[in-house]
Structure 1
Amino acid sequence: MGVAVSGWRLAREVAQAGHLGVVSGTAMDAVLSRVLQDGDPGGHYRRALEHFPSPEIAQRVLDKYFIDGGRVPGTPYKPIPKLTLATARAGQELAVAANFAEVWLAKEGLTGLGTGAVGINCLEKVQMATPTALLGAMLADVDYVLMGAGIPREIPALLRDLAAGGIGRISADVLGGKLRRHVEVDPVDLLAEDLPPLRRPDFLAIVSVDQLATYLHRDPDIRPDGFVVERPPAGGHSAPPRGKMQLDEQGQPIYGDRDEANLAKIAALGLPFWLAGAFSTPEKVAEALAAGAVGVQVGTLFALSHDSGLADGERGQLLDKLRTGELAVRNDPRASPTGFPFKVATLEGSASQVEVYEARPRLCDLSYLRQPYEREDGEIGYRCASEPVHMYLKKGGVVEDTVGRKCLCNGLMANIGLGQERKDGYVEDTLVTLGQDLSGATALIGRHPEGWTAVQALGYLLEQVPAVRSLAAAG
C-alpha cells in the first residue's frame, strides 16, 4: 500500500476482528518525525513512546522533532539522517523508536479470545533500513514479519540473532562491490541495560513463483515460517515478468504462465501460505482456501477504507473515480528507481500525470531507494535513478536508467498528508499505488456509496467462508 497507508489504526481494526493486521515498515522514521513536527494530533505517538524501553532515546526523539501545536504552515519538515551502510546513531534511534511506536499502537488494547495478530511488512530492496526496523518492531512484540521485493533469505537469521540479543546483520547489495558488505544493528549498544527479552516473530516470505519458495524452503537456515504468494496484479512493487521484458499497447509489462506460481508445489512444501493479487472478492477467497491457502492478503480494499492512512482528499478522489467506473491503475515499468514495475493509480494533479511529473524538480532527499555502489577509490557512494540526472551520471549511472523514474519516497509521503513543503513554495505531489484488481472495491462502493470501514471489508471478504474457519487477511 505504500508508506503508512496500512498504518496502526487499520492494522488494529483488522487484528481486533481476529485476523492478521499488517503495518508498513517503510520510512517509519520519516513518518514519526513529521507527525511529531505536526504536533502529534491525539498524542498517539507520544503515548507509544512513553512505553519505549529506553526513555533516553524516546526523549531525544521528542526533543529533536516534537513541536507543540505543530509547525507553522508552509515550514519545511526537518531532514532526518539518511540511510547508509552505517547509518548515524541518531538515525538508528529514530528508526527503532518509530517502528516500535507503529507496532505498539497497532497492538494496543488487543486482548481476549478471538483477537488476531499484528505483522510488519518491509521491502527487501530497502536493505539499509531493515535491521533497525525489525528491531523496533520486535521491541513492541510484533507477531509476524513479511518481506518481498527481492529474495529475503537472510531474514530468518536476522530475527534469530535479534531475539537472542545479538547483532542483527544482513548482506548489502553494493553495485560493483568487490568486498562483501553488511548492514547491522547492535541492540545492546543501542539500548544497553534497557534492552528487554525479545521474542522471535514468525517470518512470511513474499514470493511470486514456486521456484523461489522451493529455494527458500530447502535450507533450514533461510526457511521462512510461511509464504505470501503474490500474483502480478498486486499493488505497489511487483516482480518483473520472467524472461525478456515485453510491453503491451499501454506500455505495461506483459505477464504469462511462467509468472504464475504452481500452488500445488507450494502446498507440497508443507508451510502455511496466503494468496495475494486479485483475491478481493468472497469468491476469490473461497477459491484460495480451496487451493490450500490459509487465507488471503488484501491491500486495495483496505487502502480505500476509512481506516487507512490515506489522506482524506486522496481517498475521496479515488472513491469518486470508483463510483463512476473511471478508476484506473497502471503497472508502470519505469516509475520506480528500483527497476521493479510499480502500480500507479491515475489521478489528476498527481505524479501519475506526465505534465505533473515533468514539472517536479528532480531531487532525492529522503533517499530510501538509493543504491549503494563502490567507487573507483573503494569507498561507498549512493545514487538514485530519480535524483538529478547530472548527479546520477557523475556517480557512474547511465542516462537510460533515469528516464521516467519518479520519486516514490516523496510521493508516498504526500499520499498520507506528510508531503514536504519546500522553502521555494513547492509542495510535493502525491503518487498513489493500488492493486489492478478493482472488482472487490467496485462491489463495496455499490453497497457503501460513502465508503467503507476495514470491518465492513472483512465482512464482505468472509461471506463465503464458514464461520468456524479462520482467515488471516493482511490489511
Structure 2
Amino acid sequence: MTKRRNPIIIQGGMGAAVSSWLLARTVSKAGQLGVVSGTGLDAVFIRRLQLGDPGGELRWALDRFPNPRIARRILDHYFLPDGKKPNEPFRATPVPHLGVTPEAIELLVVANFVEVCLAKREHDGLVGINYLEKIQLPTLPSIFGAMLAGVDFVLMGAGIPRLIPGILDRLSRGERVALPLNVEEAAIDDEFNVEFDPATILDGRVPPLARPRFLAIVSSTTLATMLVRKSTGRVDGFVVEGPTAGGHNAPPRGPKTWNDRGEPVYGERDVPDLAVFRSLGVPFWLAGSYGSSEHVIEALAAGAAGVQVGTAFAFCDESALEPDVKRRTIEMCRRGQCDVFTDSAASPAGFPFKVLRLDGSLSDVEVYEARRRVC
C-alpha cells in the first residue's frame, strides 16, 4: 500500500498492551492502520523481558535500537533468560516524578521503539501508536521512541492535545522539546514542565526523522475546530468518538443527569455534527458502534475517511486480552447476555468509562472490594 493513502479501518489502541505489536502488525499487513497502545509500555516491556522473552522478539528489536549501549544496559538489568519464578515479584519501573531520571527516560524511549519496531516488522503497512493526553510525564520520550522506529501515525485523546503537533515537528528535526504539566491544586502562578532532549539518547547525533501524521481523538466539533486553528503544528485528522465508543468517553454536555442504572445520560448535544467536520478540510474517522461493514459504508457516505474499531479487535485471536476473558465474553454475547455499563467513577482520568460486567473481574463489587491496595 502507498504510505500516504488514508486507511479505511483504524484498529483502536486499547488498554495497556491489549493492542500489542502482534495485533497492530496483523492489521497493518492486511492493509489498514494497526495501532499499538502506548499506555504503560515501559512496564509492559520490562515484564515481558522478565518472563524470558520466549520468542526472542524483544531482543530482535533491541538489536536494532540506534544506541547499543542503552539497549545493552536495559537488557542486562531486566532480562531473565529462564523467566522469573511464579511467586517472584516483577522488578518495577522507575517511579515517575517531575525530575524524571535518565534511566526512566531511556526505558520509555526503548520500550516505545521496540513496540513499534515489532509492529512494523517485515511489511510496509501503516502503524500508529495511541497515547492519553492526561498521562503527561512519559509523553515526550515515548513519542520520540516511536518516531525512531518509524511510526506513521500518533493518535491522542483523553484531553486537549494542542501542543503535540508542534512537538512532532520539533522531534522530527532532533530539537529539544517541553510539555507543560497539569498539576492538581497548584497555585495559579506555578508552572511545571517536563523537557526532553533527543541528543541525550543518541549521544548528540540525531538524524532527521519522518514526522508521523497526528490524529486527535475528539467527541465535539468545538474541540476539533480549536485544534485545527490553534494547535502548534499541523493536525492531520480526527477520530470522532460517539458516547457508545468503548474505553473512555467524553462527559455529556449540559446538566449532569443519570439513568436508573447510574449511567450518565447523553443527548442530542453529544451527537457530533459531521457537517462541521467535513468543513475542517482534514480527514476524519467515526468511532463508537461502527464495527460492521454496513457502518463502514454509512461512514464513507457521510464523508468520513473510514472508521475506528476497538471491541471487535479486542476479542480477536491476536489481541492480548486473556483468552478466558475473550471466550467467556463471546459466549455471553451469543446468548444475548452481555451487559456493558458506562461508569463515571471507574477511571482515575475522571472520564466516563465502559465496564463489561463479568463474574470474577473487577466489575464484580466483591472482587473489587477484596483487592489489596498497595498505595
CA contact (8 A) 2:166 2:231 kept: no
Cα deviation per residue 1:333-390 (whole Å; 9 max; x = unaligned)? Answer: 00111211111111111111111111112234xxxxxxxxxxxxxxxxxxxxxxxxxx
The residue identity in structure 2 corresponding to 1:144 is F
Q: What's the CA shift for 1:329?
A: 1.5
Q: What's the CA shift for 1:98?
A: 0.5
Q: What's the CA shift for 1:244?
A: 2.6
**TM-score, normalised relative to structure 1:** 0.74
Q: What's the CA shift for 1:194?
A: 5.5
CA contact (8 A) 2:258 2:264 kept: yes
The residue identity in structure 2 corresponding to 1:339 is G
Match for residue 137 of structure 2? 128
CA distance in 1 between partners of 2:233 and 2:206 (Å): 26
- How much is the aligned-residue C-alpha RMSD, in angstroms? 1.3
C-alpha spacing 1:299/1:133, structure 2 compared with 1 (3 Å): same
The number of equivalent residue pairs is: 360
CA contact (8 A) 2:218 2:241 kept: yes
Q: What's the CA shift for 1:300?
A: 0.4
Secondary structure in 1 matching 2:56: helix
CA distance in 1 between partners of 2:252 and 2:231 (Å): 28
Alignment equivalent of 2:117, drawn from 91, 104, 107: 104
Secondary structure in 2 matching 1:191: coil
Secondary structure in 2 matching 1:309: coil
The residue identity in structure 1 corresponding to 2:198 is P
Match for residue 23 of structure 1? 36
**After the TM superposition, which residues 445-464 of structure 1 pair with which residues of structure 2 at under 5 Å, given as runs?**
none
Match for residue 294 of structure 2? 283
Match for residue 263 of structure 2? 252
CA distance in 2 between partners of 1:220 and 1:122 (Å): 17
**After the TM superposition, which residues 233-248 of structure 1 pair with which residues of structure 2 at under 5 Å, given as runs?**
233-248=244-259
CA contact (8 A) 1:253 1:333 kept: yes
Identity of aligned residues (%): 53
Matched, 1:344 2:348: no
CA contact (8 A) 1:241 1:255 kept: yes
Matched, 1:306 2:323: no
C-alpha spacing 1:194/1:52, structure 2 compared with 1 (3 Å): farther
**TM-score, normalised relative to structure 2:** 0.93
C-alpha spacing 1:246/1:223, structure 2 compared with 1 (3 Å): farther
CA contact (8 A) 1:4 1:28 kept: yes
Q: What's the CA shift for 1:191?
A: 2.2
Q: What's the CA shift for 1:265?
A: 0.6
Q: Which has the higher contact order (CA 8 A, sep 6+)?
A: 1
Match for residue 93 of structure 1? 106
CA contact (8 A) 1:237 1:342 kept: yes
Cα deviation per residue 1:34-92 (whole Å; 9 max; x = unaligned)? Answer: 00000012011111111011111111111111101100011111111122223211111
Mark the runs of 5 or more structure 1 residues left unpaired by the alignment.
Answer: 365-475
Cα deviation per residue 1:123-142 (whole Å; 9 max; x = unaligned)? Answer: 00101111111011000010
Secondary structure in 1 matching 2:55: helix
Mark the runs of 5 or more structure 2 residues left unpaired by the alignment.
Answer: 1-13
Matched, 1:273 2:284: yes
CA distance in 1 between partners of 2:26 and 2:128 (Å): 13
CA contact (8 A) 1:53 1:194 kept: no
Secondary structure in 1 matching 2:202: helix
Secondary structure in 2 matching 1:42: coil
**After the TM superposition, which residues 350-429 of structure 1 pair with which residues of structure 2 at under 5 Å, given as runs?**
350-364=361-375
CA distance in 1 between partners of 2:84 and 2:231 (Å): 50
Secondary structure in 2 matching 1:32: helix
